[in-house]
Amino acid sequence: MTDVVSPVSLTAVDAPGQPTPSPELEQLYRGFERELLVPLWTEISGLMPVHPQSKAAPHVWRWQNLLELADRAGQLVPVGRGGERRAIALANPALGGRPYATPTLWAAIQYLMPCEDAPEHRHTQNAFRFVVEGEGVWTVVGRDPVPMRRGDFLPQGGWIWHAHHNAADRPMAWIDGLDIPFQYATETQFFEFGRDAISEEERVSPDRSRAQRLWGHPGLRPVSVPGPQPSSPLLNYRWADTDAALTDQLDLEDEGFPGTVEPGHAAVRYTNPTTGGDVLATIRAEMHRVRSGTETAPRREAGSSVFQVFDGTGTVTVGDSSWRVERGDMFVVPSWQPLSIRSEASASDSDSGALDLFRFSDTPILAALGLDRVAVDGG
Ligand code: GTQ
Ligand code: FE2
């Protein structure tokens, strides 16, 4: 028989809201410990803070460093059955060394060498890929080869078979987002290995996925497919469409028509065409464009986000941290920490000179439970 050790040690303290210390009170607290009981009055500020106090820290990861280490892993670490993916996770410095960008979200850089395959598997974790540079990889999702190119967003709902295949003669990197920490906390994960190799006909590299041909026409859905689906059946959202939507939003603003989040700040959200809601059941994904010279109003949201700079340069402030960021850099915004973005013009920027930011968050989980909240300073 092992003794159960009480995880908390209670000490009577003379403080506002606390009972007056006395030998009897100490006796009571030893009784609580013996019976594995914890009173609310000693714990309330930690358990029920007036607003979220995230354990996660704001942090930035530099794309050049991620890429260099991923490339070195490409030389040293094979991809195959068991390890499954050459994916390297962003570990938030305040989350105890766990491979978690935030308490709910996994973010990783994934890397495939020329002609390499990552084997097929499926899992309950919802996932997506986002491509900041390069092309040449096809992800085979449920046997549909889906091209991955700069600016493309590729959602992949839980329990769908997937494998990746680099058809090019160059390595390719991209980022993955998954709800791994959330499913770890809720203990809801299932995983299954698929085929060790994809078939020759899945190795073809069509310009458009079958999903895109069926679902990729704005405002139109195939009549044959009934009902709402929990995650998007459209497997790739192409940069050309996202870019056009943002450009139109800012042009409309110039013409005096509303549509931007705030002056000089356009944003679009990737949606599930069967519901009009979030693209994945647990992950929200958006693209933001901040005009050069614009600074966004500090904004707090319940729940956490991860960003990747897609284009341009700027300065990002999250709580007490502030960083100058450029293409590929990734950063974390913990729950309820204020975020503000300043876009800078720079000679190396693309035509618009704007700062484009890809963002993903755990908002759909919160929204389903009525826990989503936003506060805009000065708003
Ligand atoms: O590409 O299938 O970053 O299963 C983590 C888990 C990527 C993937 C990750 C995965 C994948
Ligand atoms: Fe996977």
Asked whether the beta carbons of 108 and 176 are under 8 A apart, the reply is yes
Radius of gyration of the CA atoms of the chain, in A: 24
User: 103-153: per-residue pLDDT in tens?
Assistant: 999 999 999 999 999 999 999 999 999 999 999 999 999 999 999 999 999
Instruction: Compute the distance from residue 56 Cα to the ligand 2 centre, in Å.
Output: 25
Mean pLDDT of 12-22: 90
Q: Which of 66, 81, 84 to mutate to test the pocket of ligand 1 (most atoms within 8 A of CB)?
A: 84
User: 179-224: per-residue pLDDT in tens?
Assistant: 999 999 999 999 999 998 888 888 888 999 999 999 999 999 999 9
CATH 3.30.450.40 is right for the domain spanning 239-376: no
Q: Which of 159, 176, 235, 280 to mutate to test the pocket of ligand 1 (most atoms within 8 A of CB)?
A: 176
Instruction: Compute the distance from residue 234 Cα to the ligand 1 centre, in Å.
Output: 19
Average pLDDT, the chain: 94
Give the residue whose CA is nearest to atom 1 of ligand 1.
85
What strand order describes the sheet that includes 374-376?
Answer: 321-325, 313-318, 339-344, 299-301, 374-376
DSSP 362: S
* 7: pLDDT strictly greater than 80: no
Instruction: Compute the distance from residue 57 Cα to the ligand 1 centre, in Å.
Output: 24
Asked whether the beta carbons of 177 and 105 are under 8 A apart, the reply is yes
Instruction: Compute the distance from residue 122 Cα to the ligand 2 centre, in Å.
Output: 6
Instruction: Tell me the pLDDT band of 12, cut-offs 50, 70 and 90.
Output: confident
Domain boundaries, the chain: 1-48, 59-215, 239-376
Lowest mean pLDDT across 4-18, 74-88, 236-250, 315-329? 4-18
pLDDT cut 70: percent of the chain above it: 96
> What is the pLDDT, as a whole number, of residue 333?
98
Instruction: Compute the distance from residue 365 Cα to the ligand 2 centre, in Å.
Output: 20
**17 class by beta-carbon count within 10 Å (0-12 exposed, 13-18 middle, 19+ buried):** exposed
User: 299-313: per-residue pLDDT in tens?
Assistant: 999 999 999 999 999
Identical fold for domains 59-215 and 239-376, yes or no, is yes
Instruction: Tell me the pLDDT band of 348, cut-offs 50, 70 and 90.
Output: low
Q: Which of 85, 124, 131 to mutate to test the pocket of ligand 1 (most atoms within 8 A of CB)?
A: 85
Chain-centroid distance, C-alpha 142: 22
**pLDDT greater at residue 15 or residue 28:** 28
Instruction: Compute the distance from residue 191 Cα to the ligand 2 centre, in Å.
Output: 9
Which residues form ligand 1's pocket by a CB distance below 6 Å?
Answer: 85, 87, 108, 110, 123, 162, 176, 178
* 4: pLDDT strictly greater than 70: no
CATH 3.40.630.30 is right for the domain spanning 59-215: no
What pTM was estimated for this model as a whole?
0.95
User: 142-189: per-residue pLDDT in tens?
Assistant: 999 999 999 999 999 999 999 999 999 999 999 999 999 999 999 999
